Amino acid sequence: MSLLEVTDLRVAFPTSDGVVQAVRGLTFTIAPGRTLAIVGESGSGKTVSTQAILGLTPGADISGTALFDGVDLLRLDRDQLRRIRGAEISVVFQDPLTSLHPLYKVGRQIEELIRVHRPETSKAEARRRAVELLGLVGIPRPERRADDYPHQFSGGMRQRAMIAMALALNPKLIVADEPTTALDATVQAQILELIARVQAEFGIALVLITHDLGVVAGMADEVMVMYAGLVVERSDRRTLYYRPHHPYTKGLLESIPGSSGDRGGRLRPIPGSPPSLIAIPSGCAFHPRCPYAMPVCAAERPPLAPVTGSGGHASACWLPHEAVGLGAAAEALRLRAKEA
Ligand SMILES: Nc1ncnc2c1ncn2[C@@H]1O[C@H](COP(=O)(O)OP(=O)(O)O)[C@@H](O)[C@H]1O
Ligand code: SF4
Ligand SMILES: [Mg+2]
């Protein structure tokens, strides 16, 4: 049984320059306790697709369904959504300062969150819980640090505090949107480890959004690669790393440090940049950047179709649907996944 079941989600923003088609028909499910990674370059619609589900894209035209525990989130009013958001589904953003209020003590913010959603909780009980949560996420001397303001925390500590806040109401699902992008590599690894630990400990489902496939190497059960508002490839993590099908996924893999694209510290990024979502290329939106593009690619959009021989693996590409190896890049990632 799925916890979240999204079907044909479409999100568009009417603007003075034209309609931004941010999400163009997204379908996915996530089961309780599992991790789904959504990966793609900046501007591919990752953030909008989850924000729309949570009612955080004012002004957008949204269609589709998003069943959470059987309830369609896209049909709820603002108050109903607000009750679910933060309590049953919580979000961890890249920049904790967008979620932590600069003028309130960190502990106090967690207490308030608890008391807003659970008014029956006493002040003392909320305080006890806030301190406990700060300790749980690895804040040293939490009973003292609870009285600090966000600016007194380092970037990594603030992200820990955000995770504490995300856990405060025992959510079933956490959406972590580029949770470590602003952090240096060591802290990044610690925060990912923390997220994985609390997720396993409390059986929480996780949607992990990142532009960096390397980040999900050790964590995701399933990976969904997005490009220009669509899923271009989807599979379990191992298949995606060992036998990617879509040229865009291969490009992302080769631009990870330590992959075959990493020659003496110089990465091989995908040439060009993602398209404007106001004027999306015809057919396969990746065709202007794809080294394998054929005439059919510009003419017709390839459907997301199963890749032969791999359960659950699907790719939206006109190349033959047999699994293709990726040599050294897959090997580098295999080693990484092992270390993680
Ligand atoms: N409120 C908005 N109005 C207009 N366009 C938007 C708005 N929010 C996001 N977009 C556009 O939607 C597209 C997808 O954005 P986003 O989901 O943030 O990408 P990602 O998270 O993959 O980097 C981008 O082109 C972005 O500029
Ligand atoms: S459909 Fe064509 S352009 Fe698109 S990724 Fe496949 S080969 Fe490249
Ligand atoms: Mg984003």
Q: pLDDT tens, 221-230?
A: 999 999 999 9
How many Cβ atoms from other residues are within 10 Å of residue 42's Cβ? Answer: 11
Q: Is the pLDDT of residue 177 over 50?
A: yes
Q: Are residues 270 and 192 in the same domain?
A: yes
In three-state secondary structure terms, 260 is coil
Q: Is 317 touching ligand 2 by the criterion CB < 6 Å?
A: yes
Measured distance between the N- and C-terminal CA atoms of the chain, rounded to whole angstroms? 29
Q: Are residues 222 and 161 in the same domain?
A: no
Q: Are residues 264 and 233 in the same domain?
A: yes
Query: Cα Rg for the chain, rounded, in angstroms?
Result: 21
**Alpha helices (H) along the chain:** 46-53, 78-84, 106-117, 123-136, 142-145, 155-167, 185-202, 237-242, 247-254, 295-299, 328-339
Q: Are residues 182 and 291 in the same domain?
A: yes
Q: Is the pLDDT of residue 152 over 60?
A: yes
Q: Are residues 220 and 340 in the same domain?
A: yes
The pLDDT of residue 326: 47
Q: Is 270 touching ligand 2 by the criterion CB < 6 Å?
A: no
Confidence of residue 6 (pLDDT cuts 50, 70, 90): very high
Report the residue among 19, 20, 24, 210 best suited for mutation to probe ligand 1: largest number of ligand atoms under 8 A from its CB: 20
Tell how strand 61-68 and strand 71-72 pair up.
Answer: antiparallel
> Is residue 9 included in any domain, yes or no?
no
Tell how strand 314-315 and strand 4-15 pair up.
Answer: unpaired
Question: At which of 168, 200, 225 does a domain end?
Answer: 168
Q: Is the pLDDT of residue 328 over 50?
A: no
The pLDDT of residue 301: 97
Report the residue among 245, 250, 297, 307 best suited for mutation to probe ligand 2: largest number of ligand atoms under 8 A from its CB: 297
Q: Are residues 84 and 216 in the same domain?
A: yes
> Is residue 1 included in any domain, yes or no?
no
Q: Is 45 touching ligand 1 by the criterion CB < 6 Å?
A: yes
Confidence of residue 255 (pLDDT cuts 50, 70, 90): confident
How many Cβ atoms from other residues are within 10 Å of residue 166's Cβ? Answer: 26
Q: Is the pLDDT of residue 340 over 70?
A: no
Distance, CA of 4 to chain centre: 14
How many structural domains is the chain composed of? 2
Residue 7 parent element (H or E): strand 4-15
In three-state secondary structure terms, 200 is helix
**What sign does the dihedral 125-126-128-132 (CA atoms) show?**
positive
Q: Cβ(313)–Cβ(242) under 8 Å?
A: no
Question: At which of 136, 168, 200 does a domain end?
Answer: 168
Instruction: State pTM to two decimals.
Output: 0.91
Average pLDDT over residues 18-44: 97
Confidence of residue 265 (pLDDT cuts 50, 70, 90): low
Q: Which atom of ligand 1 is nearest to the CA of 20?
A: 5
Q: Find the 45 Cα to ligand 1 centroid distance in Å.
A: 6
The pLDDT of residue 26: 97
CA 106/CA 285 separation, integer angstroms: 44
The pLDDT of residue 145: 97
CA dihedral angle for residue 239, residue 242, residue 243, residue 247, rounded to 10 degrees:
110
Report the residue among 9, 48, 91, 227 best suited for mutation to probe ligand 1: largest number of ligand atoms under 8 A from its CB: 48
The pLDDT of residue 214: 84
Q: Are residues 127 and 162 in the same domain?
A: yes
Q: Is the pLDDT of residue 262 over 70?
A: no
CA dihedral angle for residue 202, residue 57, residue 17, residue 227, rounded to 10 degrees:
20
Q: What is the CATH number of the domain that holds 53?
A: 3.40.50.300
For all residues of the chain together, what is the average pLDDT? 90
The pLDDT of residue 337: 54
Between 326 and 222, name the one with better pLDDT.
222
Domain that holds residue 141: 97-168
